[in-house]
Amino acid sequence: MIRPKGNLVSISLLQMAKSNMEISAILSLGLFSLLLRIRIDVEASQHGIEYVQYQVPESQPYRTAYHFQSPMNWLNDPNGPMYHEGVYHLFYQYNPYGAVFGDSMIWAHSVSYDLINWVHLDHAIEPSDPFDINSCWSGSATILPGNKPAILYTGIDANNYQVQNLAFPKNLSDPFLRVWEKYTQNPVITPPSTVDALNFRDPTTAWQGEDGKWRVIVGARNGHEGMAILYQSEDFVNWTVHLSPFYRSDSTGIWECPDFYPVSINSTNGVDTSVHNPSVKHVMKASFQVNWHDCYVLGTYDPEKENFIPEDDFTGTNLDLRFDYGKFYASKTFFDPAKNRRILWAWVNESDSSQDDIEKGWAGLQSIPRQVWLDKSGKQLIQWPIEEIDKLRDKQVSINGKELISGSIFEVSGITASQADVEVSFELPELESAELIDPTRVDAQLLCSEENASSLGIIGPFGLLVLAAKDLAEQTAIFFRVYKAQNRYIGLMCSDQSRSSLRNELDKTTYGAFFRIDPNLKKISLRSLIDHSIVESFGEEGRIAITSRVYPLLAIDKEAYLYAFNNGTLNVGISKLNAWSMKKTQFDDEQSFSYSLE
């Protein structure tokens, strides 16, 4: 019902009644009163319903410039990302009635030619029938033969059970596939008796075996046990459950948004989800609701036994491999045949309160789309922001061959530090004197908060201070420390939010992860994408990623600064630093949609 028109949004008073709290909060304007420019028009509709129009404030300090956001309201999981006939589609979980999670979730729909500039379309899938009347939850798209997309999604049915439904585009000649029709015989999959019917959701992109049959997995739970249940179909409509779980784990709880796909063992190129040959391994990702972590294991898919054999099992602990060690959940990949790559999207939650979100009028971002591929070691994935992001780079500053002296700090000036892309390569001193550690007995995240940027070390802490106030009263430190373990060197990458804002009531958890250091190279690289209230950082060329949400009071817009610092006793070199101001991406609705295919 809420149709964005530029920044102008109409809401019926009936819906206002539903979202009364939000509106009154927006009108009462706690923190944002100076920033809001509200226009209220009351007009009578044909049916005598009054419409209030207001403008989502443009000058909000925490709205992002180049991350995907909805025009307003609550957003969570990315759904059904796909590429179809020259157009990228992103659907996402959306609450049309407010800036908090809701009990009538829908699939919003946006399209793009370049994964950067987007057009927001009408909602694609909304509750309508007994099989999804209580919400249309997450799911995935599969491109069927003849280039026909199909969507499998979770419906919350009239009994509040979770069932899987099918939808198809109404008009395949419409380049944006605006209208989606639900299959009349929905649901196509109902919960098997072996799982909890209230925790059975998020079908993956399906893959086709050599026998021509389609396979899809659905996340499920039985007590503390988490699992992926496999279904097979000849025609994509009639699905048969495979009796033993595709893969399961004792202590992880429900697996939300499972993702299962092949990765090349010797190329950074992605491959289609149905590819199965000796040059691929498989990735199994699950989102663990118990700790809000997106974890993955690598392994082998056995189409004969119809199961997945991991190289290392999920542990349900902090030792599991993660895409991102910060705020990053419900991720999903798709294969992009236009550029032969696999792209990862994820929901990035807020770290402020629901009341803050109601005042802002929105909550939730999508991560920068990341290309994923298998590391040369074969033991983990690498992620890197898609190359299209580089097109947003504007004014550049460069620093070459600078010594970061022990205890020093210097400003990287000349760019818009609240909206920037920073790449830096640090040169390490001799490693022998590094502090000792036993990484198997220490939790990296805990270590990052104890050995924070202000506690002195030997090699490190050194790194960047982003979204920092001029007097450093606010700062988010993205930093490294180097440790010596038995026979090897270990790096620790941290994102320290403890001093990110003068506001106290925020979630300021510090995040961190370990990585291996090659003693022959003696360098560490970092790229941080800074965008007003989000910092996405990639260490070691994409081996480690950490995403943070921060809400400074002082370090906003032109009052945000960027620094490099070293609080270790040994000097560190900056062999190369490049920083760019970033341009804003374009978000249009269909009416104002103007740009065309390149």
Ligand X SMILES: *[C@@H]1O[C@H](CO)[C@@H](O)[C@H](O)[C@H]1NC(C)=O
| DSSP H helical ranges for 318-452 | 354-360, 444-450
Question: DSSP 3-state assignment of 485?
Answer: strand
**Pair 397, 412: CB distance under 8 Å:** yes
Residue 300 engages ligand X in binding (rule: CB under 6 A): no
Of these, 267, 300, 413, 592, which contacts ligand X (CB under 6 A)? Answer: 267
Nearer to ligand X, 407 or 519 (CB): 407
Smallest gap from Cβ 390 to ligand X, in A, equals 25
Residue 279 engages ligand X in binding (rule: CB under 6 A): yes
Smallest gap from Cβ 349 to ligand X, in A, equals 4
Q: What sign has the CA pseudo-torsion 538, 281, 313, 349?
A: positive
Question: Cβ atoms within 10 A of the Cβ of 364, count?
Answer: 23
Nearer to ligand X, 54 or 137 (CB): 137
Residue 500 engages ligand X in binding (rule: CB under 6 A): no
Nearer to ligand X, 291 or 592 (CB): 291
Cα–Cα distance measured from residue 174 to residue 30, given in angstroms and rounded to the nearest whole number? 44
Build a one-symbol-per-residue string for 155-174: x at contacts with ligand X by CB under 6 A, - elsewhere: ----------------x-xx
**Pair 551, 533: CB distance under 8 Å:** yes
Nearer to ligand X, 282 or 499 (CB): 499
Residue 185 engages ligand X in binding (rule: CB under 6 A): no
DSSP 233-289: ESSSSS-EE-SS-SEEETTS--EEEEEEEEEESS-S-B--TT--STTEEEEEEEEET
For the question of residue 77 being annotated catalytic, the response is: yes
Build a one-symbol-per-residue string for 240-259: x at contacts with ligand X by CB under 6 A, - elsewhere: x-------------------
Smallest gap from Cβ 47 to ligand X, in A, equals 27
**Quick one: tokens of 483?**
């440790």
Give the largest Cα separation in the chain, rounded: 78
DSSP 493-552: EEEE-TTS-S-SSS----EEEEEEE-TTT-EEEEEEEEETTEEEEEEGGGTEEEEEE---
Residue from 150, 148, 132 nearest 140 by CA = 150
Of these, 121, 254, 344, 477, which contacts ligand X (CB under 6 A)? Answer: 477
Residues 223-242 touching ligand X, rule: CB under 6 A, are 234, 238, 240
Nearer to ligand X, 290 or 456 (CB): 456
Of these, 317, 455, 591, 592, which contacts ligand X (CB under 6 A)? Answer: 455
Beta strands in 106-211 (DSSP E): 106-112, 118-120, 136-144, 148-156, 162-169, 180-182, 200-201, 207-208
Residue from 477, 427, 482, 416 nearest 452 by CA = 477
Nearer to ligand X, 431 or 473 (CB): 473
Nearer to ligand X, 249 or 289 (CB): 289
Cα–Cα distance measured from residue 399 to residue 581, given in angstroms and rounded to the nearest whole number? 15
Cα–Cα distance measured from residue 48 to residue 27, given in angstroms and rounded to the nearest whole number? 24
Smallest gap from Cβ 193 to ligand X, in A, equals 18
**Pair 366, 345: CB distance under 8 Å:** yes
Smallest gap from Cβ 310 to ligand X, in A, equals 21
Any idea which residue has 């009071």 for tokens? 553
Residue 465 engages ligand X in binding (rule: CB under 6 A): yes
Build a one-symbol-per-residue string for 564-593: x at contacts with ligand X by CB under 6 A, - elsewhere: -x-x--------------------------
Q: Which of 77, 294, 320, 356 is catalytic?
A: 77
Of these, 292, 305, 378, 446, which contacts ligand X (CB under 6 A)? Answer: 292
Applying CB under 6 A, what is the total number of residues that bind ligand X? 29
Cis geometry, peptide bond prior to residue 461 (ω within 30 degrees of 0): yes
Residue 450 engages ligand X in binding (rule: CB under 6 A): yes
Residue 59 engages ligand X in binding (rule: CB under 6 A): no
Contacts of 177 by beta carbon, 8 Å cutoff, 6+ apart: 84, 87, 89, 149, 169, 171
**Which region among 41-49, 264-272, 366-374, 569-577 touches ligand X (by CB under 6 A)?**
264-272
Nearer to ligand X, 194 or 454 (CB): 454
Nearer to ligand X, 266 or 592 (CB): 266
Residue from 111, 551, 589, 81 nearest 355 by CA = 551
Residue 454 engages ligand X in binding (rule: CB under 6 A): yes
Smallest gap from Cβ 287 to ligand X, in A, equals 9
Nearer to ligand X, 199 or 452 (CB): 452
Residues 316-375 touching ligand X, rule: CB under 6 A, are 329, 349-351
Residue 507 engages ligand X in binding (rule: CB under 6 A): yes
228-237 exposure pattern, b = at least 16 Cβ within 10 A, e = fewer: bbbbbbeebe
Smallest gap from Cβ 475 to ligand X, in A, equals 6
Smallest gap from Cβ 46 to ligand X, in A, equals 25
Residues 396-435 touching ligand X, rule: CB under 6 A, are none
Smallest gap from Cβ 280 to ligand X, in A, equals 9
Q: What angle do CA 67, 461, 441 make, to 5 degrees?
A: 95
Smallest gap from Cβ 515 to ligand X, in A, equals 21
Q: What are residue 375's phi and psi, to 5 degrees?
A: -65, 155
Residue 189 engages ligand X in binding (rule: CB under 6 A): no
Nearer to ligand X, 97 or 236 (CB): 236
Cα–Cα distance measured from residue 68 to residue 348, given in angstroms and rounded to the nearest whole number? 10
Smallest gap from Cβ 546 to ligand X, in A, equals 15
Question: DSSP 3-state assignment of 25?
Answer: helix
Q: Which residues bind ligand X (CB under 6 A)?
A: 171, 173-174, 234, 238, 240, 265-267, 278-279, 292, 329, 349-351, 450, 452-456, 465, 477, 498-499, 507, 565, 567
Query: Residues with catalytic annotation?
Result: 77
